[in-house]
Structure formats: structure tokens, C-alpha cells
Amino acid sequence: MKHTLNLTGRNLFDLDDYSVEEIEKIFETAKVMKKINSREYKKIPTLRGKTVATLFFEDSTRTRISFELAVKRLSADVVSFTTAGSAMKKGEGIQDTVYTLNAMGIDLYVVRHSCPGVPQLVNKYSNKPVLNAGDGRHSHPTQALLDMFSIWEKKGSLKGLKITIVGDILHSRVVRSNLIGMKKMGAEVVVCGPRTLMPPKIEEVYGVQCEYDLKVAIKDADVVMGLRMQLERQNEGLFPGLGEYTSRYGLSNKMLEFAKDDILVMHPGPMNRGVEILPEVADSEHSIIIEQVTNGVAVRMALLFLILGGKPDKEVA
């Protein structure tokens, strides 16, 4: 019998604990989910009776909606906890929040927090699987999975692809998870941005190439991903202004000429049109930015199904 990779009961803190085969299984499952999402009737009864809690200690409407839609499409119940107007404002700690929710019978937690490591903390207190929906600038594995799935769908594989990620690498949770995942799946990754927005030892930590000139970084690239540039960084003295930034690192048609003809353009959203990406590129045939959003729901459905369906493996891996 063909060995099936069991993901039941697993946490998703980041992609380092997932193997290539497991990531491929998530992709295969996401493909099926994506098809369901394109039907007239988009709901399946798979996770009936399960309850998922989305704990968003930091606001992120897009990610939360994507997760909640995924939960609902699988017929599970979802309760959402956001810090606005909740007990957290009254100084209640994470521990108490999790104990309280756990007492109500939550089967899985989706956690977003501005501090790295909080998903692990929620798992420790709840003893239930946790999906990391972004912890500070540390990681955002479901975003990375949907990014990689979007590439995998178009290119068939990530093996040997040259992927360039450009922008504020230092503050990006999306980048870290993508670097782990893309390297694992065999891509060659180049990160690019101003030196003040580059984390130390990034080449050493992730085995990627680091460039400060986008023309060099994007040369012959199969995929380019732009990152959201936040104006606050200007006040922190990390770069002089958006004008200079766009001229050096903005994704324009002119810049794309250095890349391969069939380059895919991606962005984790929300975009600052005219800053890190020009409209001519965002709306071009190369852009799969909207499809990334569609794939987000499918990938999250796949994860929820794989983690909540079936019995956990008894053997210790």
C-alpha cells in the first residue's frame, strides 16, 4: 500500500518542520479544494462538528477572513477572537484567554500575534494544534504555502526556479517562511532591498543570495515577489523616502525586462500601487496577485482538512 503522509494533529508554526513530501501533499490537497471553491455550491461537510478559534491579537482582516472562509467551507464552526474590545485590553494574558477558550472545546487555533513565538505558547497552553497566521516578523507559513502553491500551479514545480524577493526584507514575516519553504522545494532565491532593511546574516541563515541592486537580483528570474513598503520605516531612519525607493526597487515594466519573458509577478498584499509595484506591472499578464488571494482560501482549507481529519499517527517520527 502506498504510504500516506499523516498530518493529523500537527502544528504549523513554520515550514521548517514540514518535509518536501508533506508540502507537496498540501499542494495536491489545495488543488482539490480550489476546484471545490470554483463550484456553484462551495461547501463540503468534511469537518462538521469541529470548532476552530481564530485568535487575532494583531489585526489582519484579510488573513482572518481567508481563514474563516476556509473553516466555513469545510463546515466546521469558527469563533473569532480579536483584541479589539476583548478581554486582552483589560490585561488578561494569553494563558487565561487560551484556558477559557479551551474549556469551550476548541479543536484548533489559528493565531496571529505581533510577537514571535506566541503560536508555540498557545499550543503549550491549549495542547491543541495551532496554525500560525503570522507571528511578528518571524513567520507566516500559510502565506508562504499559498505563494509557493501559486508558483507550483503555474510552473509545475519550484525546482531550479530563480525567485527574487524585493523590498523590506527585515520586517517581513512572509519572507522568512518563504525562504525556508522555497529553498526546501529546490528554488534558487535572491533577496533584494536597501541594506538598512536587510536582516543580518541572511545568506547564512537561509542559504539565499543577497543583492542590493534590483537589476542584478531580477536577472533571468522566473518569479519576482514585491513586498509592502511601509512609510513608518522612513521615520525610523531606515530609508530616505518612497520616491528614491520606487526608483531603485519598484517593480516596473523596465525592471521586468531583465527577467525571463514568462516571469510571474507576486505580492502578498496589500499593495502600495506606485510604490513597490507600478500599476503597469500589478495589472499585467505576468501578475498572479489576485490568484494568490484565491489560492489562500484553498491552501488554508487543505491545511485544516489535513490537520483536523483522521487520527494522529501513533508512531513517533
Partner 1 sequence: MSTKKRILDEKEMERILKRLANEVIEKNKGCEGLYIVGIHTRGVPLAKRITHYIEKFEDEKIHVGSLDITLYRDDLAHIEHQPVIQDSILNFDIEGKHILLIDDVLNTGRTARAALNAILDYGRPAFIQLLVIIDRGNRELPIQADFVGKHLPTSKDESVQVHLKEVDGADEVFIIKD
Partner 2 sequence: MILLKNGMVYLSEEKKIVKNDVLIDKKIIKKIAPAIEEKNAEVIDCAGMHIFPGFVDLHCHLRDPGYTYKEDIASGAESAAKGGYTSICCMPNTKPTIDNISTLNYIMRKARDVKGTKIFVIGAMSKGLEGKEIANIASLVKGGVVGLSDDGNCIQVAKLQLNVMRYASIYDIPMICHSEDYSLSGEGQVNYGYMSTKLGLPGIPTLAEEIMVSRDIMLADVTDSQVHIAHASTKRTVELIRQAKKDGIKITAEVTPHHLVLTEEACDGFDTNTKMKPPLRSEQDRVALFEGLMDGTIDVIATDHAPHSDYEKELEFMKAPFGVIGFESAFPVLYSTLVRNDKMKLEELVARMTSKPADIIKKEVGLLKEGAPADLNVFNLEEFFTFNESEILSKSKNSPFLGMKMWGKIHYTICDGKFTWKL
From 9, 199, 269, 309, residue interacting with partner 2 (rule: CB under 8 A) = 199
From 6, 287, 292, 295, residue interacting with partner 1 (rule: CB under 8 A) = 6
Q: Pick between residue 10 and residue 173 the one whose CB is nearest to partner 2.
A: 173
d(CA 65, CA 249): 30
The answer to whether residue 201 forms part of the interface with partner 1 (CB under 8 A) is no
d(CA 30, CA 145): 10
d(CA 223, CA 197): 21
Q: Are 31 and 153 in contact (CB under 8 A)?
A: yes
From 13, 15, 29, 57, residue interacting with partner 1 (rule: CB under 8 A) = 29
Least Cβ distance, residue 311 to partner 1 (angstroms) = 5
Contacts of 31 (CB under 8 A, 6+ apart): 153, 298
Interface with partner 1 (CB under 8 A), residue total 26
Q: Which does 95 bind (CB under 5 to 8 A by kind): partner 2, partner 1, none?
A: partner 2
Q: Pick between residue 82 and residue 120 the one whose CB is nearest to partner 2.
A: 120
Q: Pick between residue 54 and residue 172 the one whose CB is nearest to partner 2.
A: 172
Residue with cell 479551551: 102
Interface with partner 2 (CB under 8 A), residue total 24
132 DSSP β-pair partners: 111
Site pattern 157..176 for partner 2 (x: CB under 8 A): ----------------x--x
Least Cβ distance, residue 76 to partner 1 (angstroms) = 12
The answer to whether residue 300 forms part of the interface with partner 2 (CB under 8 A) is no
The answer to whether residue 289 forms part of the interface with partner 2 (CB under 8 A) is no
The answer to whether residue 311 forms part of the interface with partner 2 (CB under 8 A) is no
The answer to whether residue 32 forms part of the interface with partner 1 (CB under 8 A) is yes
From 60, 75, 102, 120, residue interacting with partner 2 (rule: CB under 8 A) = 120
Neighbour count for residue 152 (Cβ, 10 Å): 22
The answer to whether residue 35 forms part of the interface with partner 1 (CB under 8 A) is yes
The amino acid sitting at 116 is P
The answer to whether residue 233 forms part of the interface with partner 2 (CB under 8 A) is no
Which listed range, 29-37, 62-70, 114-122, 264-272, lies at the site for partner 2 (CB under 8 A)? Answer: 114-122
| Residue numbers at the binding site for partner 1 (CB under 8 A) | 2, 4-8, 25, 28-29, 31-32, 35-36, 39-41, 43-47, 305-306, 309-311
| Residue numbers at the binding site for partner 2 (CB under 8 A) | 93-95, 113-118, 120-121, 135-139, 173, 176, 199-202, 204-205
